[in-house]
A and B are shown apart, each in its own frame.
Chain A
Amino acid sequence: MTSSLFNRMLRIDLGARRASVWDVSDRVRAYLGGMGTGVRILCDEVDPTIDPLAPANKIVLTVGPLTGTAAPMHAQSCIVTKSPLSGTILNSYAGGFLGPEVKFCGLDGIIFEGAAEDWSILLIDDDQVRFESATPILGATTEAAEAYVKETYGSDYRTLSIGPAGERAVAMAGAFSETRAFGRGGAGAVFGSKRIKAVGIRGSHAVMTADPARFSELVAQNMDALRGARAEEYGLVGIFSRFGTGGGMPLVNGRGALPTKNHTYGSFEGAEQIDGPYYESNFYTRRIACFGCPIHCGRLHKFSGTDGQELWGRGPEYETMFSFGSNLLNNDPQLLAEANRLTEHYGVDSLTTGVTIAWALEMAEAGKLTSPGLDLQFGCPEAVLGLLELICTREGIGDLLANGPRRAALELGNDSLARAMQVKNSGFAAWMPRRMKGTGLAYATSNRGACHKRAPIGAEIAGAMDMESYEGKAAALIENQNVVNAIFTLISCRFHEFVTDHETYPALIAAATGQAFSWDKLVTLGERIWNLEKLFNLKAGLTRADDRLPGKCFEPVLGKTSQSSVMEAEKFEAMLDEYYRLRGWDSDGVPTAEKLEALGIAEDARE
């Protein structure tokens, strides 16, 4: 039967410089695609106890059954690997055009195995791979590396690259693709450990569907729903369409949940100089979209750098407006744009990098950290840009900070760990856990560390749930984690699910692949994946202690809008107990045999 899935992946043995087509096994196919197939493969093929930067780690790049089809908002591809930042299993996503191009190669994924002997550029044409020397672009920015691939080998290659940070094993280094990023978790450092500087991907295949007429009908209905959401003045998707993701900043600030000065305050006076509407009205702006997306939340701006030079740069996303804005007391939109641009050029995750800098500035304020020649004060441009460069080049105290906030704090010692706003060494996102208790539990329990993509943020910010309450948060969060995992097998954009009726997903899968998946079965698949990841992390040595929030979360938030909010330690532990129980896990967070049996993954149980 015709299907939008090819059921083929490319395995590239980097050491042997050899590629072979792998017919995806039935065992893996049962996980549909995206995050699901990625997690199944990594759990089957990678020992959880290995050093993430050793050749034994693998990078599984996957797409889903809707990638490369006309279904809107399915541009993302997924990387699953063992994270050098968190030491956990990682799933990380990037939009743009890379995912569809993998599909146009006639593939559902690419598995990078081993390590190359010399720094390499990989050129993938359908299922053929060529290795070229990366010597001419070593040390180059992600932008320059990708321009080199296009200029040297063909402008129709879609590209992926790492920057200087990935080459130097900075723990929060990302893998970049034409300004979109696999940001979280350090995938860039894993590519660096395998000596892959850049990848070009170019496909010639057509993507077909099992039932084209039905599929077109569903896509047209979905497009109508998205057009409606796009036009809504106060709807989140409408706001993202008009102002980018930073359009939501005034709302979060107004709710006193915008982390400010390393999570000391819950609102920022300078927020309106760095939010989405400000950029849109004060800078030359181009609205840009991922493959086939009608929402176009991406932005390109022209701005002036600190040296007065005119620069193009991607509009900072909301999360970066926090991590290099409010959280550093930076209300200068040009400085924020320049920092954002530098994170892309060096190739690091702007979230965890910014969170690490915020911790360093608080430590400097307390007299515990200095850096020669840098005035380490919140809001100081030299401090912000200076620390960013030191991290990315691993120079001076940057070498300490480049290991991530948790490891840096452990090395600095004393009570500094309590001020590092992270879980599992992964930086907090732009939502304050003391104000939003369910989001706090999400940060604590996420398998990849402090993750906001699977959190009851919408319900808490919009007021459907009392954001300060602990009540019902564990159950809401579990539902959220399972649902998001389900749509990340497809791989739907997180914003797609804000608008799309859940019943649309099984209908799209059936019309695309001919496979029958009820919504309930999809959500159970999401739960199965969550449990598989948990098992991987337990085998890697993580315990209940890794599902805790840093000490600062148990002190009151300062500032007038935040009502002295605090996370109460006993109530947090009770919420965590409730979460484990509802998940079918024991009090140490270990999935019970009954739960694993019910999910059909008993054989994956802890050894």
Chain B
Amino acid sequence: MGFDIEIGKCTECKRCMIACSLAKSGSVRMRSSRIEIVPNWPEVPEIRVCRFEDCEGHPCIAACPVAAITESKGRVLIDAETCIGCSACVRVCPYHAIRMDDGIARKCDLCGGDPACVKECVTEALKRREVSP
């Protein structure tokens, strides 16, 4: 699974980021969100989040010098315990979907298949992709 994004519908309200940071850190802290709305005012913004299904070769996995990044059941996961914070994965991600927070690389893990962000997107700019095309 993954995301379908229709960027023209994004209102930049950031409810996806609020939901993500609550799911991942238990508080509202935008830097903890693993999805990011990057404004390009006045043009449409960019939604930065892991696009596993669209991503060719998953370069983050090979870039990690300590094998903290692995693929599992259609998702790429970062093991926070193993991560040494070198940010090599941040540099190679074609979707800019990996962010450093408190010295650890963080990315979307699709909330185990039921992403918190999607439920909050009232305009459906961000949708869950059920089946691979």
- Which residues of A52-95 are within 8 A (CB) of B? 68-70, 72
With A206-B27, A207-B28, A207-B29 as contacts: A296 and B11 at CB distance below 8 Å: yes
Chain A hits for B44, CB < 8 A: 286
Chain B hits for A8, CB < 8 A: none
Report whether B18 and A70 are in contact in the complex, using a CB–CB cutoff of 8 Å: yes
Report whether A291 and B14 are in contact in the complex, using a CB–CB cutoff of 8 Å: yes
Bound: A206/B21 CA distance, A? 9
Report whether B12 and A104 are in contact in the complex, using a CB–CB cutoff of 8 Å: no
- Which residues of A204-245 are within 8 A (CB) of B? 204-208, 212, 216, 223, 227, 230
Report whether A294 and B13 are in contact in the complex, using a CB–CB cutoff of 8 Å: yes
Chain B hits for A223, CB < 8 A: 120
A437-473 to B contact mask, C-beta < 8 Å, 1/0? 0000000000000000000000000000000000000
Chain A hits for B27, CB < 8 A: 206-208
The yes or no answer to A288 lying at the interface (CB within 8 A) is yes
Report whether A206 and B15 are in contact in the complex, using a CB–CB cutoff of 8 Å: no
B6-21 to A contact mask, C-beta < 8 Å, 1/0? 0010011111001101
The yes or no answer to B70 lying at the interface (CB within 8 A) is no
Chain B hits for A287, CB < 8 A: 11, 123
Interface core residue of A69, A230, A287, A300 (most chain B CB under 10 Å): A287
With A289-B13, A290-B13 as contacts: A300 and B29 at CB distance below 8 Å: no
Chain B hits for A291, CB < 8 A: 13-14
Chain B hits for A277, CB < 8 A: none
The yes or no answer to B82 lying at the interface (CB within 8 A) is no
Cβ-neighbour of A204 out of B19, B31, B122 (below 8 A): B31
Report whether A296 and B13 are in contact in the complex, using a CB–CB cutoff of 8 Å: yes
Interface size of B by Cβ–Cβ distance < 8 Å?
23
Bound: A291/B31 CA distance, A? 15
Report whether A104 and B30 are in contact in the complex, using a CB–CB cutoff of 8 Å: yes
Chain A hits for B133, CB < 8 A: none
Report whether A288 and B11 are in contact in the complex, using a CB–CB cutoff of 8 Å: yes
The yes or no answer to B26 lying at the interface (CB within 8 A) is yes
Closest chain B residue to A103 by CB distance?
B28
The yes or no answer to A312 lying at the interface (CB within 8 A) is yes
B26-70 to A contact mask, C-beta < 8 Å, 1/0? 111111100000000010100000000000000000000000000
Report whether A206 and B14 are in contact in the complex, using a CB–CB cutoff of 8 Å: no
Interface core residue of A230, A291, A300 (most chain B CB under 10 Å): A291
Bound: A207/B17 CA distance, A? 13
B92 to chain A, nearest CB (A): 22
Closest chain A residue to B8 by CB distance?
A286
Bound: A204/B19 CA distance, A? 17
With A68-B28, A70-B28, A296-B11 as contacts: A227 and B122 at CB distance below 8 Å: yes
- Which residues of A75-131 are within 8 A (CB) of B? 104
The yes or no answer to A514 lying at the interface (CB within 8 A) is no
Chain B hits for A296, CB < 8 A: 11, 13, 123
The yes or no answer to A293 lying at the interface (CB within 8 A) is yes
B34 to chain A, nearest CB (A): 15
The yes or no answer to B100 lying at the interface (CB within 8 A) is no
Bound: A70/B23 CA distance, A? 12
Chain B hits for A205, CB < 8 A: 29
The yes or no answer to A292 lying at the interface (CB within 8 A) is yes
The yes or no answer to B22 lying at the interface (CB within 8 A) is yes
Chain A hits for B19, CB < 8 A: 70
Chain A hits for B26, CB < 8 A: 208, 212
Bound: A471/B26 CA distance, A? 51
Chain B hits for A69, CB < 8 A: 28
Chain B hits for A216, CB < 8 A: 22
A96 to chain B, nearest CB (A): 10
A325 to chain B, nearest CB (A): 22
A284-315 to B contact mask, C-beta < 8 Å, 1/0? 00111111111010101000000000001000
Cβ-neighbour of A289 out of B12, B21, B31 (below 8 A): B12
A31-71 to B contact mask, C-beta < 8 Å, 1/0? 00000000000000000000000000000000000001110
A-B contact pairs, 19 of them (CB 8 A): A70-B19, A70-B22, A70-B28, A72-B15, A204-B29, A206-B25, A206-B27, A206-B28, A206-B32, A207-B29, A208-B26, A230-B122, A286-B44, A287-B11, A287-B123, A288-B12, A293-B11, A293-B13, A294-B122
Given contacts A206-B27, A227-B122, 4 further A-B contacts (CB under 8 A): A70-B19, A208-B26, A296-B13, A296-B123
